Chain A
Amino acid sequence: EIVLTQSPTTMAASPGEKVTLTCLASSSVNYMYWYQQKSSASPKLLIYYTSILASGVPDRFSGSGSGTSYSLTISSMEAEDAAIYYCLQLTSTPYTFGAGTKLELK
């Protein structure tokens, strides 16, 4: 099973600040997927195939990485970005999620 380790676990960012979240895989994966979850809502797809923005996602979000190291970047933090972010690997079953990064507004 591929284990995904997200860091940091929790962080706070000020409006306008650049934010980078990391997801490390225990084995190489082909792509990484990123999801945003606000309060009690369902997860929302943000980025697929490592770097492609899902429909309707603001372009302040971007994804990068390869092999075992991936990241999600918010170029300029906005209040509405406060949420939990999860990475997901679909390279091999069982598909696995990271534990999440809770991003708060400072």
Chain B
Amino acid sequence: EVQLVESGGGLVQPGASLKLSCVASGFTFSDYWMSWVRQTPGKTMEWIGDIKYDGSYTNYAPSLKNRFTISRDNAKSTLYLQMSNVRSEDTATYYCTRVALFDYWGQGVMVTVSS
């Protein structure tokens, strides 16, 4: 069974950094591009970016490219999202998902940016 489990969320102050993790199981993680998507409290869905199966290439939404970094550790079947200089508008639920079809999603992790 494919499973994606995110962690690392919580309450963070504006301007701080935060790193989210997504542990994958039930499939060969190193065979797939992976992606991060976020959903705002108002239910708007936004694609953050993705990473090639070997970690050699990343793609980002232009508005987030300078503050967010996606990486992966295939030995640990883990996807990461490094968020820096966070803002109130980054408050959202963050999902990892398997690219090609966005067919499997994690349960999501909530990030709240507030002082």
Q: Chain A: residues with CB nearer than 8 A to chain B? A: 1, 33, 35, 42-45, 48, 54, 84, 86, 88, 90, 93-97, 99-100
B45 touches A100 (CB 8 A): yes
Does any Cβ of A come within 8 Å of B103's Cβ? yes
Decide: A33 near B101, CB < 8 A? Known: A95-B47, A97-B46. Answer: yes
Say how far A11's CB is from chain B's closest CB, in angstroms: 16
B61 touches A94 (CB 8 A): yes
Report A-chain residues with C-beta under 8 Å of the C-beta of B59: 93
B105 touches A100 (CB 8 A): no
Report A-chain residues with C-beta under 8 Å of the C-beta of B56: none
Say how far B33's CB is from chain A's closest CB, in angstroms: 11
Q: Chain B: residues with CB nearer than 8 A to chain A? A: 35, 43-47, 59-62, 95, 101-108
Minimum-distance CB pairs A-B, first 9: A97-B45, A42-B105, A95-B47, A94-B61, A45-B103, A48-B101, A93-B59, A43-B105, A94-B47
Q: How far is the CA of A99 from the CA of B46 in the complex (A)?
A: 10
Contact of B108 among A42, A45, A54, A99 (CB under 8 A): A42
A45 touches B102 (CB 8 A): yes
